[in-house]
Amino acid sequence: MSTHDQRPGAIPQAPLGGDEADDDRPLSETIQLTNRSQTTEETGNIDPADLFNEDSVILSATSLKSDSWLPRPSIAPGEALQLVRYARRGNTLVITGLTPHGRRLTFEQREDRDGWYVVVAGRRRRPTDRELSLVVASITREMEASMAPEGEDVRNAYRLAATSDQPGVEINGLQAYRDLLLDEAAAYVGGQLERLAVVAVEYQAFKRFAIRHGHRIGAAFVRALGERMQSIFRNEKKLHVCHKTGKSFRLIIGDRSAAEVQELVGRITSDDTKTWLVNRVWGREQRTHPQEVHFYIGIAFASAEERHAEYTALAQRLNDDAYRAAKLGQLKGHTSVQLAKTEYQTTVYQWRRGSQEALEELAAKMDDGPGPVMAEMQDYLHELVPADIEGMAVEGDVHALIHRAIAREGFWQGTTAMRIAGERIIDRFMENEPPEEGENAYVGGFDLGDEFYGISVEGDRLYFAWGDLNSAGATRLKGLHLIQHAVGWRRTDGGGVVGRFLKALAGVDDPRSLVERVAEQAAAGHDELMADERFRVNDTVDIADYLWTLKGEPVTSADIEDGAMLQLALPDECIEVEVEERRSAFIARFIIRGEPYLASIADSPAGPSIKLRVRDAVVAAAVCILEIRRRELEDMLTIVREDNNLPEGTPMDLVGFLRHVADILLAEQVKGPGKIRQALGEPYRAERFVRGFSLEEVREKHPGLFYEAVHHSLLTYVPLNIDHHLAEMLASTMLARTRPQSEF
């Protein structure tokens, strides 16, 4: 594992002017807001016949040039098998391909489905981490290509991994940042680095600046900063410059003291750099003064105690705390988030042991309230640790799913995997067929973000359960390990919010309905966490969508004035609300049921955001469960086909339809009203947060939602262009009876 920047194939530093090195024109005259031109790798001249049998199916045929300039750690970002083929030999799935170094690699899943083996020179053995990563990357690339809209070019995976998505910023991008940080964190834990730091660099007041000058000039300043950082840090050992996204840059620095890191940061915040940026963008005709260019910068160091930590957790912590330090420095000394964002000043803040207390104290004092302040601390870098709970974004889903499918471990997850397994269950339900031997009649796990799901067949009923985690974002700020424990990630006792949900989903011998079983487990999970002070947090809930004027019109910011009378319309109750005092543009004081409540207010083009504080909350489940009888589903599909003149057998996206309905009902009828009642002082009650709806009830009480889901989801079936052997592997893995721990 590399611990410095002299790794084979390292990216050469571009000239100071990037692509414009031979052009004296400033960026304001040359930069274009278009995607970079795509480059196509040369097709390899390897004869597929030398690799596969006559019935081989070639899915991709790209190879790296021998003089490739891309970084090459143990597995470079974007590396994958070439000339990939999937095949079935009896009950064994085989994946065959060529490694980036030209060696043939064959993966086999044994008939007993006990993990994967690699066959090399006729001998079968367990795969190495690198070999496992190569096959995961290969499957991921095909799945991503299959999900791309028709006619849209899929960007070359090697380019995407190595460089920034921002046109003209030829430095490490988001994918490379993730892999480099994980690499260096592992080196620190392994004793190969004495010190490790992450620096978050963000343009200050950039949104207002970009609006005033135009987004083209904003993009020019981003590119100019990339060029400047590339230039001033070019000769620094053990230092990586990365463009995360938009106005955000990151430095990964090894073996530097705090004073040395401060000196490096000083090169970015210096007057010379600000003047250089303005000159680079505008040239002689400067329309921005250097004193308008500012940054908020955060620094996070690895501690000695983390020498024995899990390297992925260390990488995630460094990334999060560097960003939180930057935001804390930006917000300190201000009375509201909005004012802090618009002030032109440069701040540098280092995250220390007492920074969490300083953050909580600041949040309690600001006019916006703790919720909005804490929300500003979220970096949302889900791609950093794809196989952890912070890896639940789309790309994290795909990677984590494939790792779990191969290693046979943990919670299953993934938007595509949900559809594959869900379609298999629904097809069997419609045909009234039992599950195959070794497979369940249910499936469950994570989807995007902090959402989870379950699909189950029980008798002549199909259940589709769509869940979300209350207060997960607020709890995460107390530490990744707490949110993992609360959710149930890798807990051997099967506990936690999602662990209990899966237990309820599997309880087919329980005579109670799925709604009752899920509600019981949700209440038990909430009570378990509430008994532990570490999990209690302050959260917020937006009541704007439920707040109406007495005339029955949605509330606007102008309606919230001293003495105004409003109504809070919940699904089963309408509550009178009095505006006692509008203290400022951001704060109002309401009287609800005779009790005073402070609310933070923010305006947007879509309408106001009006947030109440939820005190003493813990991570808890909110679940919407759709119940459909077989005959009811058959009748609905028949009517839909007749109304739209579709022939029998026309494929329809039932999983997408059910998800569409459940997602809206969960937000509007379950989670939102439940959290509002908690903000008004009512305790968590599982029957409010776990609710069931029949298909007929949805059609009668929510006809707009029903027909929206029919036309936007049910009738818009798009087949997944995935090799059928691969789809079969994913489905059978997700529906497998047992889930043993990983052996890798």
Q: Do 98 and 182 fall into the same domain?
A: no
Matching residue, tokens 């021998």: 66
Phi, psi of 372 (to 5 degrees): -60, -35
**What's the pLDDT score for residue 268?**
96
**What's the pLDDT score for residue 622?**
96
Residue 567 has pLDDT above 70, yes or no: yes
pTM over 0.85: no
Residue 257 has pLDDT above 70, yes or no: yes
Q: Residues 157-196: pLDDT tens digits?
A: 323 333 454 556 677 777 678 778 877 888 898 888 899 9
Q: Do 511 and 613 fall into the same domain?
A: no
**What's the pLDDT score for residue 50?**
34
Regarding predicted confidence, which is higher, 699 or 119? 699
Q: Grade residue 7 by pLDDT with cuts at 50, 70 and 90.
A: very low
Q: Do 506 and 646 fall into the same domain?
A: yes
Q: Grade residue 691 by pLDDT with cuts at 50, 70 and 90.
A: very high
Q: Residues 404-425: pLDDT tens digits?
A: 443 333 333 456 677 888 899 9
**What's the pLDDT score for residue 744?**
27
Give the tokens for residue 506. 């599997």
Nearest alpha-carbon partner for 522 in 680, 674, 734:
674
190 assigned to some structural domain: yes
**What's the pLDDT score for residue 724?**
77
301 assigned to some structural domain: yes
Residue 23 has pLDDT above 90, yes or no: no
Distance CA 329, CA 345 (A): 10
Residue 705 has pLDDT above 70, yes or no: yes
- Mean pLDDT, rounded, for 574-586: 89
User: Number of folded domains in the chain?
Assistant: 4
Nearest alpha-carbon partner for 465 in 693, 657, 625:
625
Q: Do 208 and 323 fall into the same domain?
A: yes
**What's the pLDDT score for residue 466?**
93
Regarding predicted confidence, which is higher, 426 or 63? 426
DSSP-derived secondary structure for 306-356: GGGS-HHHHHHHHHHHHHHHHHHHHHTT-S-HHHHHHS---EEEE--TTHH
Distance CA 12, CA 3 (A): 17
Q: Do 226 and 367 fall into the same domain?
A: yes
Residue 549 has pLDDT above 90, yes or no: yes
Regarding predicted confidence, which is higher, 367 or 50? 367
Q: Do 67 and 82 fall into the same domain?
A: yes
Strands 587-592 and 595-602: antiparallel
Distance CA 79, CA 135 (A): 10
Radius of gyration, alpha carbons of the chain = 27
DSSP-derived secondary structure for 74-89: SS-TT---EEEEEEEE
8 assigned to some structural domain: no
What domain range includes position 58? Answer: 48-147
Q: Grade residue 354 by pLDDT with cuts at 50, 70 and 90.
A: confident
**DSSP H stretches of helix in 190-257:** 206-213, 215-232
Q: Residues 27-76: pLDDT tens digits?
A: 766 665 443 333 333 333 333 333 333 333 333 322 222 232 222 334 55
Instruction: Residue 175: give its domain's CATH number.
Output: 3.30.70.270
**What's the pLDDT score for residue 665?**
95
Residues above pLDDT 90, as percent of the chain? 34
507 assigned to some structural domain: yes
4 assigned to some structural domain: no
Q: Do 646 and 695 fall into the same domain?
A: yes
290 assigned to some structural domain: yes
Regarding predicted confidence, which is higher, 39 or 702? 702
With left for phi above 0 and alpha for psi between -120 and 50, is residue 169 left, alpha or beta? beta
Distance CA 325, CA 739 (A): 39
- Of 341, 375, 409, the residue that ends a domain is 375
469 assigned to some structural domain: yes
Q: Do 724 and 681 fall into the same domain?
A: yes
Written as one letter, the residue type at 253 is I
Residue 649 has pLDDT above 70, yes or no: yes
Distance CA 701, CA 710 (A): 15
Q: Do 62 and 194 fall into the same domain?
A: no
Q: What's the Cα-to-Cα distance from 603 to each of 282, 369, 373, 583, 589, rounded to whole Å? A: 33, 16, 16, 15, 17
Q: Do 354 and 279 fall into the same domain?
A: yes
Q: Residues 506-538: pLDDT tens digits?
A: 876 788 999 999 999 999 999 999 999 999 988
With left for phi above 0 and alpha for psi between -120 and 50, is residue 681 left, alpha or beta? left
Residue 469 near residue 453 (C-beta atoms within 8 A): no
Q: Do 666 and 730 fall into the same domain?
A: yes
518 assigned to some structural domain: yes
What is the CB-side half-sphere exposure of residue 520 using CA atoms within 13 A? 12
**What's the pLDDT score for residue 31?**
60
**What's the pLDDT score for residue 52?**
33
- Of 617, 643, 669, the residue that ends a domain is 617
pLDDT, averaged across the chain: 76
Burial of 134 (0-12, 13-18, 19+ CB in 10 A): buried
Distance CA 741, CA 303 (A): 30
- Report DSSP state, residue 554: B
What is the CB-side half-sphere exposure of residue 51 using CA atoms within 13 A? 24
**What's the pLDDT score for residue 22?**
44
- Of 587, 617, 647, the residue that ends a domain is 617
Q: Do 545 and 527 fall into the same domain?
A: no
**Of 70-79, 619-628, 655-664, which has the strongest mean pLDDT?**
619-628
Give the tokens for residue 303. 């501690």
**What's the pLDDT score for residue 270?**
95
